[in-house]
Structure 1
Amino acid sequence: MKLFRHYLSVFSCTCASALLLFAGDGHAQTVAFTFDDGPQLEQTPKLSPQQRNQAMLDALARHGVCAALFVTAANGANQPAGYALAKAWSDAGHAIGNHSMTHPDLHSEKVSLAQYQQEILDCDKIITTLPGYQKWYRYTYLREGNTPEKRDGMRSFLKQHDYRNAYVSLDTSDWRLNEKLTAVLKKNPQADVSPIKRAYLAHVRQRAEAYRALSWQLQGRDIAQVMLMHHNLINALWLDDVIQQFRDMGWSFITPTAALNDPVYQLMPERAAAGQSLLLSMAKTLGLGKFAGWERLVDDGDFEIEALKQQGL
């Protein structure tokens, strides 16, 4: 079964964690942080767009973590105020990747392959002017095409334009808990949201441990994990706690470039509708089926949301 094609990427980050290279077997589990859909100019409770952006950058800086921001340009970067927020990431030494112009769904019948590809080119017209820009594309919704024609058409497009697929191995549903957080605060700005914080940290830990176990099942080792989160309020408030939790778990941080140089990210699972976490896609390609704990990796935070409902939130 054909499982891979080769990609290479080079990027020098000024963050302190750039000194950490890819750790192979015998080293601590490593993780690279990546954030999608930014920068967001929408108004939220508690913090302004500028405050949210700075809070995330401050948390990363405090811990010396070098991350990547995958820009959905119509969320703000196509406006001066939003472009300035994206530039702040670049100025801090973080990588900038492409996450389309308006975040369309490649699996939608209303979105043609040509339209989807144009979204990428349009976003590039904005973000290529940022110093941290990399020719990395992160699929929207992590969906790589629901037909062989879309899947193969996109793979050819990325290769033709020298993009690499910025895979995710450790997928989180932070966006779902962020929706709950903002809804609660809009209803009552003084609400006690500590249960949501606890649920979020537990969610991230559960996903991290489950995907680490899956990497051992599929690869027989700790891979360099690439984690997906989003540019949103929940991370503006609690990213510092997320990073500290990983430290307490014994994990260490590497740059997205170093993580993507792990050989696992050269793989290209061949199935009719590739996507999701790379590890989940590999599991399906290899016929692993519904392994133990599978349902907690695809429930989009249903477990945590139901638990919060039981607590009255």
Structure 2
Amino acid sequence: MTFGRALLIAATFFASTAQAQSVAFTFDDGPKLETTPLLSPQQRNQALLGALAAHHVQAALFVTCGYGADKPEGYALAKAWGQAGHALGNHTMTHPDLNDAKLTLAQYRQEVQDCDRITSTLPGYQKWFRYTFLREGNTPEKRDGMRAFLKQSGYRNGYVSLDTSDWRLNEKLTDVLRADPKADIEPIRLAYLSHLRQRAIAYRDLSRKLEGRDIAQVMLMHHNLINALWLNDAIQQFVDMGWTIVTPAQAYADPVYQLQPDRPAPGQSLLLSIARTRGMGRFEGWERLVDDGDFEINALAGSGGAPAR
């Protein structure tokens, strides 16, 4: 083999590898009208949309309607997502937990229907539903009942394959800023980026173990302050890693999102559910996928800085 041909084969390999691993950005729980340090609700919303636009990323917002979209000012924020070309899905009205023994299947279905009356009027509306807390119910009756309801209603399950605990680092960020508005938050930014990278690589590796390939990952993030501040950095990190950013619709076209694992453990990514359904057990690195960001929070508390990448 000539040197030139070897270079061509290597270039083709790395190009195909970069294209093979793709990720779609999705955000839950928005738009929120709550007060946070540094940015108003309108500024947070615009910062998220601005970062996505800067990188030409089409994302999805799973709307929890009672957090703001049921009011004119919040509805306008949600509408801006659709007008910018992003998809809008349903994340219930008030974010109840289907695993709550006190919550009935009928009540949870009503939450979806109430939110749908709002989201269906927005540009970018999609019949996608994402379970709150990624929990499909504490009984087989709830699980099967909701699956039947979604099918009958024409809803797609808005699965997550690449779960993140950005919400935990967001709590840390807001606590720090409320205590000291001038605090140095650079360590939290680095911890946030490190966390996203670690989860991305871990779920990529898990998809290879389970499916023998790189699936189109659907990443869970949230409509919150930490993403408003540093989503631009997060997107750039994926670009620098060589990942291709696709639309949620493109990702959901991957056949893995047609699977319906039993989900024996509550609140988890589709990939972890598949792993447990197939009897994979606790694999190397499992604990870092279910720790809700404990590793990063403990590292910040212990060293005053961010964990190493």
TM-score when normalising by structure 1: 0.91
What CA distance in whole angstroms lies between the structure 1 residues aligned with 2:64 and 2:189?
Answer: 26
CA shift in 2, pair 1:24/1:140, >3 Å:
farther
- CA contact 1:67–1:256 (8 Å) conserved in 2: yes
Q: Identify the match of residue 113 of structure 1 among 82, 105, 119.
A: 105
SS at match of 1:190: coil
- CA contact 1:30–1:224 (8 Å) conserved in 2: yes
Cα-to-partner distance string for 1:136-184 (whole Å, 9 max, x where unaligned):
0000000011211110011011011110101000000000000000000
How many matched pairs?
Answer: 291
- CA contact 2:264–2:273 (8 Å) conserved in 1: no
Q: Identify the match of residue 244 of structure 1 among 233, 236, 250.
A: 236
Larger Rg: 2
CA shift in 2, pair 1:185/1:26, >3 Å:
closer
Q: Does 1:253 align with 2:245?
A: yes
Q: Identify the match of residue 171 of structure 1 among 160, 163, 178.
A: 163
Residue number in structure 1 paired with 2:91:
99
Q: Does 1:197 align with 2:179?
A: no
- Give the 4+ runs in structure 1 shifted more than 6 A: 23-26
Residue number in structure 2 paired with 1:282:
274
Q: Identify the match of residue 148 of structure 1 among 128, 137, 140.
A: 140
SS at match of 2:194: helix
What CA distance in whole angstroms lies between the structure 2 residues aligned with 1:61 and 1:195?
Answer: 26
Write 1 or 2 for the structure with the bigger share of helix.
2
- CA contact 1:146–1:273 (8 Å) conserved in 2: no
What is the percentage of aligned positions where both structures have the same residue? 72
Residue number in structure 2 paired with 1:130:
122
What CA distance in whole angstroms lies between the structure 2 residues aligned with 1:161 and 1:111?
Answer: 21
Residue number in structure 1 paired with 2:62:
70
- CA contact 2:101–2:138 (8 Å) conserved in 1: no
Cα-to-partner distance string for 1:25-83 (whole Å, 9 max, x where unaligned):
78341000000000010000000000000000000000000000000001000000000
- Alignment gaps of 5+ in structure 1: 1-22
Q: Does 1:215 align with 2:207?
A: yes
Structural RMSD (CA): 1.4
What CA distance in whole angstroms lies between the structure 1 residues aligned with 2:171 and 2:119?
Answer: 27
- CA contact 2:32–2:74 (8 Å) conserved in 1: yes
What CA distance in whole angstroms lies between the structure 2 residues aligned with 1:215 and 1:160?
Answer: 30
Q: Identify the match of residue 176 of structure 2 among 184, 205, 209.
A: 184
- CA contact 1:24–1:222 (8 Å) conserved in 2: no
Q: Identify the match of residue 235 of structure 1 among 202, 227, 231.
A: 227
Question: Residue type of the partner of 1:36?
Answer: D
Cα displacement (A) at 1:300: 0.2
Cα-to-partner distance string for 1:259-298 (whole Å, 9 max, x where unaligned):
0000100111135456510000000000000000000000
**Higher alpha-carbon deviation: 274-283 or 226-235:** 274-283
Cα displacement (A) at 1:110: 1.5
Cα-to-partner distance string for 1:192-236 (whole Å, 9 max, x where unaligned):
000000000000000000000000000000000000000000000
Q: Does 1:299 align with 2:291?
A: yes
Cα-to-partner distance string for 1:87-128 (whole Å, 9 max, x where unaligned):
000000000000000000000012111101100000001110
Question: Residue type of the partner of 1:105?
Answer: D
Q: Identify the match of residue 261 of structure 2 among 269, 276, 296.
A: 269
- CA contact 1:28–1:250 (8 Å) conserved in 2: no
SS at match of 2:26: strand
TM-score when normalising by structure 2: 0.92
Residue number in structure 1 paired with 2:11:
none
- CA contact 1:33–1:227 (8 Å) conserved in 2: yes
Residue number in structure 2 paired with 1:39:
31
Cα displacement (A) at 1:312: 4.1
What CA distance in whole angstroms lies between the structure 2 residues aligned with 1:284 and 1:208?
Answer: 19
Question: Residue type of the partner of 1:310?
Answer: G
CA shift in 2, pair 1:45/1:157, >3 Å:
same
